[in-house]
Amino acid sequence: APEHIPTPGAALSWQAAIDAARQAKLMGSAGNATISTVSSTQRKRQQYGKPKKQGSTTATRPPRALLCLTLKNPIRRACISIVEWKPFEIIILLTIFANCVALAIYIPFPEDDSNATNSNLERVEYLFLIIFTVEAFLKVIAYGLLFHPNAYLRNGWNLLNFINLVVGLFSAILEQATKADGANALGGKGAGFDVKALRAFRVLRPLRLVSGVPSLQVVLNSIIKAMVPLLHIALLVLFVIIIYAIIGLELFMGKMHKTCYNQEGIADVPAEDDPSPCALETGHGRQCQNGTVCKPGWDGPKHGITNFDNFAFAMLTVFQCITMEGWTDVLYWMQDAMGYELPWVYFVSLVIFGSFFVLNLVLGVLSGEFSKEREKAKARGDFQKLREKQQLEEDLKGYLDWITQAEDIDPENEDEGMDEEKPRNMSMPTSETESVNTENVAGGDIEGENCGARLAHRISKSKFSRYWRRWNRFCRRKCRAAVKSNVFYWLVIFLVFLNTLTIASEHYNQPHWLTEVQDTANKALLALFTAEMLLKMYSLGLQAYFVSLFNRFDCFIVCGGILETILVETKIMSPLGISVLRCVRLLRIFKITRYWNSLSNLVASLLNSVRSIASLLLLLFLFIIIFSLLGMQLFGGKFNFDEMQTR
């Protein structure tokens, strides 16, 4: 084969690489100097090198799936490509969301009746089952089923998804079997199985969203890890409930079954529409009035559920009081039955100790677990940065070794490259030549333009134009100094105070002169706030002005006020719409956060807190959806009573 002869361009590229290596060695900071050179390449390497998901890298994929499919199998390679394709994950998340919507718009009817909408939703359910089945099938082929460290069923979220899928397929098969037997297809029983009971497992499908959102997984894992200390808190709460239930049995047993009855008339009907306990004449509780008499025989408050007659109802009543749901009503009922001496001590101590102290221990445990997870995440991030730094240093060392070897392999091209570089350096630089040529071309273009363009060019070079630019810069410096002065600061604070005072002075049936004063003051304040905004825009420039979040907020408030004034004067919008726009005036109060540093820091902390608990709020919303759907499946269509029936 003929010997390869390097071209002059290749010699120059070799020489440039060698010079770069020498310069990096002489500077002594080769790591930092080369980070910027290889940053793009390294980012790409890290992008493909970071572990993304289960089975996202070759190291986490088992060599065989289902005992027969190797990594080189075209079917398995296609499944891996589909599963690790980002749009595939998005499609699955959208399918889960659509399934949640379909479950939410399902309308349960009494006696398992149905309508056309529910029938269509049942047909759509088969489509969701097909999509989830295909997803599970692809993941099983890609990652294996069970007998590998990173198999599909080794992941807890995948196991939950697989159980939901199996139950859904089983319920669909049973439903088709009941149809074949001639039974009711909507919730009927076939072969001894209740299909509707199996359908209740559908409500767990929203939990699949957790497997697709990493931040939700972190929050839920923290809650799961906190279960052991939370179990200790639960035992303490149970102990407190038992203690107070036993004390309530000793003090209040049978005290809430007396109420006021009429002396004449129906004996077993209380005299009051909303009866409450009473005390006999010898007691210190509530005495019956208007010719009624206190007699036993009443079921008690809440149809006899709230009482201390036995241990079970006593625990239920104590639990209600600990949750602070209607505990004052129980206190007042007990005071009506016994007097004011003893019940308040029992219930107030129960709420203070049980609710304020014991239940708040749950928040402390959760806070501690979240702190541990945050520290672990920070440690993982620091370790990842250290690994990336070490990888960069290794890459740098490899690049320097490669360049040094290249210098040793082809030393004869060094002199040739230097000789070719000298005439290039002695001549005019390429950039300067190009700039001169550009100026000549620009000059030719200006000479070839029409008269108006030449006149504009001359005006831009005239003395008046230079004077105008100088005066404009002077004015902007003065305006910038004025905007940042203390006088301007206190002036804006005073205007915000006047705006707040004007809004607070509005009241019902106010005189006409006050309305006119408020309208005039609002227009004047709007003009002043508009002038403030324009002054800031002129002094800082539009780009620098809109960089600040507070400036954008001010611009929104001013534009809303201008729009409100235009609509009020032209009478285009209805009074209700104008009232809604007037609420924008209230936002002017928040302008003070721009100038009050402590308040600004507090608002920033609140916003950061909202961002940090966004995942927790989303998880809470997810559980609300799940239990709402579960209530629809279990109790939908059950609460249908005759409104004329006395209960």
**In this structure, are residues 142 and 83 in contact, taking their beta carbons and an 8 Å threshold?**
yes
CA nearest neighbour of 612 among 374, 361, 363, 360: 374
- Other beta carbons within 10 angstroms of residue 605's beta carbon come to 10
Dist CA 289 CA 550 (whole Å):
64
Q: How far is CA 625 from CA 100, 103, 125, 249, 504, in A?
A: 9, 10, 18, 38, 40
**Per-state percent for the chain, helix, strand, coil, to nearest 5:** 75, 5, 25
Supply the DSSP string of 453-468, one letter for each residue.
Answer: HHHHHHHHTSHHHHHH
Beta bridge partners, 292, equal: 262
Q: How far is CA 156 from CA 35, 207, 464, in A?
A: 40, 12, 76
Distance of alpha carbon 209 from its chain centroid, rounded? Answer: 13
On the 0-12 / 13-18 / 19+ scale of CB atoms within 10 A, 587 is middle
Dist CA 256 CA 247 (whole Å):
16
What lies within 8 Å, CB to CB, of 396 at 6+ separation is 30, 31, 34, 35, 38
Dist CA 415 CA 622 (whole Å):
71
Q: Is 421 annotated as a binding residue?
A: no
CA nearest neighbour of 99 among 133, 71, 126: 126
What lies within 8 Å, CB to CB, of 244 at 6+ separation is 318, 346, 350, 354
Annotated binding site: 325
Binding residues for Ca(2+): 325
